[in-house]
């Protein structure tokens, strides 16, 4: 392994993980105020009605697929009697459908962002940068799916290369050789995804971590007493207007 490879496959993953976790903690502690979806629905609703759910729900399916594909070892599904072919077929078809929905969704979202003047004006540089990494990851991921199906290049079983590599990272025994055996599309996908994790806490993507599941279990009407001013992560009020911290 060259030193570049070591950097890419054994160092970058941990850098991404630390940036992601530490960054999120930092953001949560110091910048709750800007932790929001920054929704642009007020400006434009019709396209968003289709594109928003299409992208998000597609993405959930994609993420679910990744969790199963990367974390469940092949030996486990084998022992369940699920043949490699059957698994492959399922993964490609479901993953493909979810991928198409996600790509279509983000395509529409970007089109909407670019063509609706109000939405475009409100698009920050930060957003634009984030979109680049996000779209690159999605595109590389789709290419990887195609290549694993044998539509591009040779059919490839990522559960023997990429998945064990991810597990090797998560168990702190990084083994870059594993992923280096995979086709280029997979490696590009992995790199862009890692970069995406690095920048994640510093973009509007943070809103994905505030999925309001607790809503299902809380009483309808929330009461608070006046002096809960400094619960964790809130900026403390000072006299007069708040001091500027940026």
Minimum CB distance to another protein, residue 126 (Å): 7
- Cα separation of 169 and 116, whole Å? 42
Instruction: Tell me the residue ranges of DSSP E strands in 33-164.
Output: none
Tokens of 78: 């084998």
Question: Considering only residues 138-177, where is the footprint of another protein by CB under 8 A?
Answer: none
- Determine phi and psi for 132, rounding to 5 degrees: -60, -50
Minimum CB distance to another protein, residue 146 (Å): 27
| Contact (Cβ atoms closer than 8 angstroms) between residue 188 and residue 140 | yes
What is the CB neighbour count within 10 angstroms for residue 54? 20
CA distance readout (Å), 185 to 92, 125, 142, 145 = 15, 27, 9, 9
Whichever of 18 and 41 has its CB closer to another protein, that residue is 41
How many chain residues bind another protein (CB under 8 A)? 55
The number of angstroms, rounded, from the C-alpha of 116 to the middle of its chain's C-alpha atoms is 25
Question: Considering only residues 34-53, where is the footprint of another protein by CB under 8 A?
Answer: 34-45, 48-49, 51-53
Question: Considering only residues 204-243, where is the footprint of another protein by CB under 8 A?
Answer: 207, 210, 212, 214-216, 218, 220-227, 233-235, 237, 239-243
- Asked if 88 touches another protein (CB under 8 A), the answer is no
Minimum CB distance to another protein, residue 137 (Å): 19
Report the interface residues with another protein, using CB under 8 A: 32-45, 48-49, 51-53, 55-57, 117-118, 121-122, 124-126, 207, 210, 212, 214-216, 218, 220-227, 233-235, 237, 239-244, 246
């Amino acid at each position: 392994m060259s030193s570049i490879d070591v950097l890419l496959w054994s160092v970058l993953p941990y850098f991404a993980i630390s940036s992601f976790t530490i960054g999120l903690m930092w953001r949560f502690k110091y910048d709750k105020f800007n932790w929001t979806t920054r929704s642009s629905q007020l400006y434009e609703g019709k396209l968003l009605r289709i594109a928003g759910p299409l992208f998000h729900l597609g993405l959930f399916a994609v993420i679910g697929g990744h969790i199963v594909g990367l974390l469940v070892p092949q030996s486990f599904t084998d022992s369940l009697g699920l043949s490699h072919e059957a698994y492959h077929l399922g993964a490609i078809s479901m993953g493909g459908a979810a991928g198409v929905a996600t790509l279509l969704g983000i395509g529409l979202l970007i089109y909407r962002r670019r063509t609706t003047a109000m939405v475009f004006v409100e698009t920050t540089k930060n957003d634009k940068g984030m979109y680049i990494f996000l779209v690159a990851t999605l595109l590389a991921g789709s290419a990887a799916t195609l290549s694993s199906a044998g539509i591009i290049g040779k059919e490839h079983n990522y559960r023997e290369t990429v998945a064990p590599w991810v597990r090797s990272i998560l168990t702190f025994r990084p083994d870059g050789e594993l992923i280096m055996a995979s086709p280029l599309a997979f490696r590009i996908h992995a790199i862009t995804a890692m970069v995406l994790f690095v920048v994640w806490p510093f973009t509007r993507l943070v809103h994905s971590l505030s999925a309001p599941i607790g809503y299902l279990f809380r009483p309808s009407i929330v009461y608070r007493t006046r002096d809960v001013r400094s619960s964790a992560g809130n900026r403390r009020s000072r006299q007069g207007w708040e001091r500027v911290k940026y």
